[in-house]
Amino acid sequence: MFRILLACTLVLPCMAGGLSKSDKKEIKKMLDGTLYARVDMPCATGRHAYGTYKRPLVEVSPTGINTEADTVVSASWYHADSTYWGVSVNQPLKMDDLDIDDDGIEIELEGTDDEDIQTVIMFVDVDNMEQFKACLDKAFSRVPLQDEHSDWPADIKAAIANRKLVNGMTKKQAFCVTGRPVSFTKRTEGGKDVEVWDLRTNKGVKMGYFTTSVHESTGLPSQIKFVNGTLTNVAETGSGSDFSLDD
Protein backbone atom coordinates (compact mmCIF):
# COMPACT_ATOMS: atom_id res chain seq x y z
CA MET A 1 0.00 0.00 0.00
CA PHE A 2 2.87 2.39 0.88
CA ARG A 3 4.43 1.80 -2.54
CA ILE A 4 1.13 2.64 -4.25
CA LEU A 5 0.76 5.86 -2.24
CA LEU A 6 4.37 6.80 -2.95
CA ALA A 7 3.86 6.21 -6.67
CA CYS A 8 0.75 8.41 -6.67
CA THR A 9 2.62 11.12 -4.80
CA LEU A 10 5.41 11.08 -7.37
CA VAL A 11 3.08 11.06 -10.38
CA LEU A 12 0.56 13.72 -9.34
CA PRO A 13 2.84 16.76 -9.79
CA CYS A 14 3.42 15.72 -13.42
CA MET A 15 -0.29 15.36 -14.00
CA ALA A 16 -0.89 18.87 -12.63
CA GLY A 17 1.20 20.45 -15.38
CA GLY A 18 4.74 21.71 -15.65
CA LEU A 19 4.24 25.48 -15.65
CA SER A 20 6.58 27.23 -13.23
CA LYS A 21 5.98 30.51 -11.43
CA SER A 22 8.19 32.28 -13.97
CA ASP A 23 6.18 30.64 -16.80
CA LYS A 24 2.93 31.96 -15.33
CA LYS A 25 4.45 35.43 -15.03
CA GLU A 26 5.55 35.27 -18.67
CA ILE A 27 2.09 34.09 -19.76
CA LYS A 28 0.49 37.12 -18.16
CA LYS A 29 3.01 39.37 -19.90
CA MET A 30 2.36 37.73 -23.28
CA LEU A 31 -1.38 38.34 -22.92
CA ASP A 32 -0.94 42.07 -22.31
CA GLY A 33 -1.89 44.52 -25.05
CA THR A 34 -4.39 44.22 -27.88
CA LEU A 35 -5.31 40.74 -29.13
CA TYR A 36 -7.35 40.12 -32.29
CA ALA A 37 -9.59 37.05 -32.21
CA ARG A 38 -8.86 34.48 -34.94
CA VAL A 39 -12.15 32.66 -34.32
CA ASP A 40 -15.59 33.35 -32.89
CA MET A 41 -15.41 33.26 -29.09
CA PRO A 42 -18.87 32.63 -27.63
CA CYS A 43 -19.25 32.00 -23.93
CA ALA A 44 -22.02 30.98 -21.57
CA THR A 45 -23.43 33.85 -19.55
CA GLY A 46 -25.57 33.20 -16.52
CA ARG A 47 -26.93 34.32 -13.22
CA HIS A 48 -27.50 32.60 -9.91
CA ALA A 49 -28.47 33.63 -6.41
CA TYR A 50 -25.08 35.28 -5.80
CA GLY A 51 -24.61 37.25 -9.02
CA THR A 52 -23.61 36.72 -12.65
CA TYR A 53 -20.88 34.65 -14.28
CA LYS A 54 -19.24 33.74 -17.60
CA ARG A 55 -18.32 30.16 -18.49
CA PRO A 56 -15.88 29.25 -21.30
CA LEU A 57 -17.24 27.32 -24.28
CA VAL A 58 -14.22 27.63 -26.56
CA GLU A 59 -11.25 25.41 -25.68
CA VAL A 60 -7.90 25.98 -27.37
CA SER A 61 -5.25 23.25 -27.29
CA PRO A 62 -1.81 23.18 -28.94
CA THR A 63 -3.32 21.04 -31.71
CA GLY A 64 -6.64 22.78 -32.41
CA ILE A 65 -9.69 24.74 -31.30
CA ASN A 66 -13.01 23.37 -30.08
CA THR A 67 -15.69 25.90 -31.04
CA GLU A 68 -18.71 23.64 -30.57
CA ALA A 69 -20.72 25.94 -28.32
CA ASP A 70 -23.69 24.87 -26.24
CA THR A 71 -26.61 26.95 -27.55
CA VAL A 72 -29.18 25.76 -25.01
CA VAL A 73 -30.86 28.36 -22.79
CA SER A 74 -31.73 27.07 -19.32
CA ALA A 75 -33.58 29.05 -16.71
CA SER A 76 -35.25 28.74 -13.33
CA TRP A 77 -36.17 31.06 -10.49
CA TYR A 78 -32.63 30.90 -9.04
CA HIS A 79 -30.51 30.17 -12.10
CA ALA A 80 -30.26 30.98 -15.82
CA ASP A 81 -27.60 30.14 -18.39
CA SER A 82 -27.30 30.72 -22.14
CA THR A 83 -24.80 31.15 -24.98
CA TYR A 84 -23.76 34.66 -25.99
CA TRP A 85 -21.91 35.22 -29.27
CA GLY A 86 -20.57 38.63 -28.30
CA VAL A 87 -17.03 38.27 -29.68
CA SER A 88 -16.55 37.58 -33.37
CA VAL A 89 -13.52 37.08 -35.58
CA ASN A 90 -11.09 40.02 -35.77
CA GLN A 91 -12.53 41.65 -32.63
CA PRO A 92 -9.85 43.67 -30.78
CA LEU A 93 -9.66 42.48 -27.18
CA LYS A 94 -7.67 42.92 -24.01
CA MET A 95 -7.23 40.57 -21.07
CA ASP A 96 -9.48 41.36 -18.13
CA ASP A 97 -8.58 38.47 -15.83
CA LEU A 98 -6.42 35.35 -15.84
CA ASP A 99 -6.73 32.11 -13.88
CA ILE A 100 -4.16 29.33 -14.21
CA ASP A 101 -4.81 26.00 -12.51
CA ASP A 102 -4.59 22.26 -13.14
CA ASP A 103 -7.60 22.31 -15.47
CA GLY A 104 -6.12 24.88 -17.83
CA ILE A 105 -5.63 28.60 -18.42
CA GLU A 106 -8.87 30.55 -18.24
CA ILE A 107 -8.69 33.97 -19.92
CA GLU A 108 -11.39 36.59 -19.45
CA LEU A 109 -11.44 39.19 -22.22
CA GLU A 110 -13.18 42.47 -22.97
CA GLY A 111 -13.31 44.81 -25.94
CA THR A 112 -10.50 47.35 -26.16
CA ASP A 113 -12.99 50.17 -26.75
CA ASP A 114 -16.15 48.66 -25.26
CA GLU A 115 -16.07 46.90 -21.89
CA ASP A 116 -19.56 45.50 -22.56
CA ILE A 117 -17.97 43.20 -25.15
CA GLN A 118 -16.90 40.29 -22.95
CA THR A 119 -16.04 36.62 -23.20
CA VAL A 120 -13.93 33.92 -21.59
CA ILE A 121 -11.95 31.10 -23.22
CA MET A 122 -9.85 28.21 -21.93
CA PHE A 123 -6.39 27.01 -23.00
CA VAL A 124 -6.04 23.28 -22.27
CA ASP A 125 -3.26 20.67 -22.43
CA VAL A 126 -0.65 23.31 -21.64
CA ASP A 127 2.34 21.99 -19.66
CA ASN A 128 5.09 24.25 -21.01
CA MET A 129 5.63 27.59 -22.73
CA GLU A 130 5.91 26.06 -26.19
CA GLN A 131 2.39 24.62 -25.83
CA PHE A 132 1.09 27.94 -24.51
CA LYS A 133 2.56 29.82 -27.47
CA ALA A 134 0.90 27.32 -29.84
CA CYS A 135 -2.47 28.03 -28.19
CA LEU A 136 -1.88 31.78 -28.26
CA ASP A 137 -1.08 31.73 -31.99
CA LYS A 138 -4.18 29.67 -32.75
CA ALA A 139 -6.52 31.96 -30.81
CA PHE A 140 -5.12 35.44 -31.41
CA SER A 141 -3.22 37.74 -33.73
CA ARG A 142 -1.28 40.81 -32.63
CA VAL A 143 -2.52 42.75 -35.67
CA PRO A 144 -5.90 42.92 -37.46
CA LEU A 145 -6.24 39.73 -39.49
CA GLN A 146 -6.25 41.56 -42.83
CA ASP A 147 -2.86 43.10 -42.00
CA GLU A 148 -1.28 39.63 -41.96
CA HIS A 149 -1.78 39.46 -45.75
CA SER A 150 0.34 41.94 -47.68
CA ASP A 151 -0.99 40.59 -51.00
CA TRP A 152 -4.65 41.41 -50.29
CA PRO A 153 -6.02 44.46 -52.17
CA ALA A 154 -6.32 47.70 -50.19
CA ASP A 155 -10.08 47.99 -50.80
CA ILE A 156 -10.65 44.47 -49.46
CA LYS A 157 -8.58 45.24 -46.36
CA ALA A 158 -10.55 48.45 -45.81
CA ALA A 159 -13.84 46.54 -46.08
CA ILE A 160 -12.68 43.96 -43.54
CA ALA A 161 -11.56 46.73 -41.17
CA ASN A 162 -15.10 48.15 -41.39
CA ARG A 163 -16.64 44.67 -40.95
CA LYS A 164 -18.22 44.92 -44.39
CA LEU A 165 -18.73 42.19 -46.99
CA VAL A 166 -18.05 43.11 -50.62
CA ASN A 167 -18.31 41.14 -53.83
CA GLY A 168 -15.01 39.69 -54.99
CA MET A 169 -13.85 38.56 -51.56
CA THR A 170 -12.34 35.11 -51.20
CA LYS A 171 -13.66 32.76 -48.53
CA LYS A 172 -10.70 33.53 -46.27
CA GLN A 173 -11.31 37.27 -46.64
CA ALA A 174 -15.05 36.94 -45.99
CA PHE A 175 -14.32 34.79 -42.92
CA CYS A 176 -12.49 37.76 -41.38
CA VAL A 177 -15.88 39.52 -41.35
CA THR A 178 -18.37 36.71 -40.79
CA GLY A 179 -16.52 34.17 -38.70
CA ARG A 180 -17.54 30.54 -38.95
CA PRO A 181 -20.89 30.02 -40.71
CA VAL A 182 -23.69 28.28 -38.84
CA SER A 183 -23.87 25.84 -41.76
CA PHE A 184 -22.79 25.63 -45.38
CA THR A 185 -23.64 23.72 -48.55
CA LYS A 186 -21.64 22.95 -51.68
CA ARG A 187 -22.95 22.19 -55.14
CA THR A 188 -22.19 22.60 -58.83
CA GLU A 189 -24.18 24.98 -61.03
CA GLY A 190 -23.45 25.28 -64.75
CA GLY A 191 -20.03 23.79 -64.29
CA LYS A 192 -19.15 26.23 -61.48
CA ASP A 193 -18.47 25.39 -57.85
CA VAL A 194 -21.03 27.08 -55.59
CA GLU A 195 -20.75 27.32 -51.81
CA VAL A 196 -23.47 28.91 -49.66
CA TRP A 197 -22.88 30.02 -46.08
CA ASP A 198 -25.72 30.45 -43.59
CA LEU A 199 -24.61 33.15 -41.16
CA ARG A 200 -25.44 33.97 -37.56
CA THR A 201 -27.70 37.04 -37.57
CA ASN A 202 -28.03 37.53 -33.79
CA LYS A 203 -25.76 37.21 -30.79
CA GLY A 204 -28.03 34.97 -28.73
CA VAL A 205 -28.90 35.72 -25.12
CA LYS A 206 -26.68 37.59 -22.64
CA MET A 207 -27.74 37.10 -19.05
CA GLY A 208 -27.45 39.90 -16.51
CA TYR A 209 -28.64 39.83 -12.92
CA PHE A 210 -31.65 42.09 -13.45
CA THR A 211 -31.62 42.43 -17.26
CA THR A 212 -31.23 40.16 -20.26
CA SER A 213 -29.98 41.14 -23.73
CA VAL A 214 -31.84 39.06 -26.32
CA HIS A 215 -30.94 38.46 -29.98
CA GLU A 216 -28.85 41.57 -30.59
CA SER A 217 -28.09 41.80 -34.32
CA THR A 218 -24.67 40.78 -35.64
CA GLY A 219 -25.14 43.06 -38.65
CA LEU A 220 -24.58 40.17 -41.04
CA PRO A 221 -26.86 38.94 -43.83
CA SER A 222 -28.49 35.56 -43.28
CA GLN A 223 -26.75 33.98 -46.26
CA ILE A 224 -23.88 34.60 -48.69
CA LYS A 225 -22.77 32.73 -51.81
CA PHE A 226 -19.40 32.02 -53.37
CA VAL A 227 -18.96 31.01 -57.01
CA ASN A 228 -15.62 29.37 -57.78
CA GLY A 229 -14.38 30.64 -54.42
CA THR A 230 -15.42 34.29 -54.92
CA LEU A 231 -18.19 36.14 -53.05
CA THR A 232 -20.87 37.15 -55.54
CA ASN A 233 -24.22 37.96 -53.96
CA VAL A 234 -23.61 40.87 -51.56
CA ALA A 235 -25.96 43.79 -52.23
CA GLU A 236 -26.31 47.23 -50.71
CA THR A 237 -28.88 47.17 -47.91
CA GLY A 238 -30.54 49.80 -45.75
CA SER A 239 -32.41 49.95 -42.48
CA GLY A 240 -36.19 49.81 -42.28
CA SER A 241 -36.33 53.58 -41.72
CA ASP A 242 -34.59 54.14 -45.07
CA PHE A 243 -37.21 52.18 -47.02
CA SER A 244 -39.28 54.18 -49.52
CA LEU A 245 -41.57 53.37 -52.46
CA ASP A 246 -40.75 56.71 -54.11
CA ASP A 247 -37.24 55.86 -55.28
Domain ranges of the chain: 31-145, 146-237
pLDDT band at 45 (very low <50, low <70, confident <90, very high): confident
The predicted structure's pLDDT at residue 131: 97
CA distances from 34 to 90, 95, 112, 145, 167 (A): 11, 8, 7, 13, 30
> What pLDDT, on a 0 to 100 scale, did the predictor assign at position 5?
42
Alpha-carbon gap, residue 234 to 131, rounded angstroms: 40
pLDDT above 50 for 60: yes
Res. 210 pLDDT band, cuts 50 70 90: very low
At the second CATH level, the architecture of 146-237 is 2-Layer Sandwich (3.30)
Give per-residue pLDDT as tens, 100-121. Answer: 998 899 999 999 988 788 999 9
DSSP H helical ranges for 101-215: 129-139, 154-161, 171-178
**Does position 52 have pLDDT exceeding 90, yes or no?**
no
Question: pTM for this one?
Answer: 0.80
Q: What is the pLDDT of residues 77-100, one digit of tens each?
A: 444 567 888 899 999 999 999 999
